[in-house]
Amino acid sequence: MATTQAAGNGGAVTTMSESGGIDRLLAGTSWTRADVELALQTASTLLLLYWAVTEVADGL
C-alpha cells in the first residue's frame, strides 16, 4: 500500500509499505532507494540528451 507525504520542496513523496514494493525488491542487495533513484535519473537524462542530439542532427 502506497502512502503520500508532503515533501520539503512543496512536492509529494510516495512510499511503499513495509510488506512490498521497492524495499522487498532491494532486500539482500547492496542497493538502496537512493541508488535506484540515481540510476533512474541518470537513465532518464541520457535518454533526453540522446533525443535532443538526434533531433538537432535531423534538422541539419
For the cut 70, the answer to whether the pLDDT of residue 51 exceeds it is: yes
| Nearest by Cα to 13 from 33, 42, 41, 35 | 33
> What confidence score (pLDDT) does residue 13 get?
64
- Burial status of residue 16 (CB atoms within 10 A of its CB: 0-12, 13-18, 19 or more): middle
Predicted TM-score of the model (pTM): 0.59
For the cut 90, the answer to whether the pLDDT of residue 60 exceeds it is: no
> What confidence score (pLDDT) does residue 42 get?
98
CA distances from 21 to 8, 29, 43, 47, 56 (A): 23, 14, 21, 25, 39
> What confidence score (pLDDT) does residue 59 get?
83
> What is the gyration radius of the CA atoms in the chain, in angstroms?
17
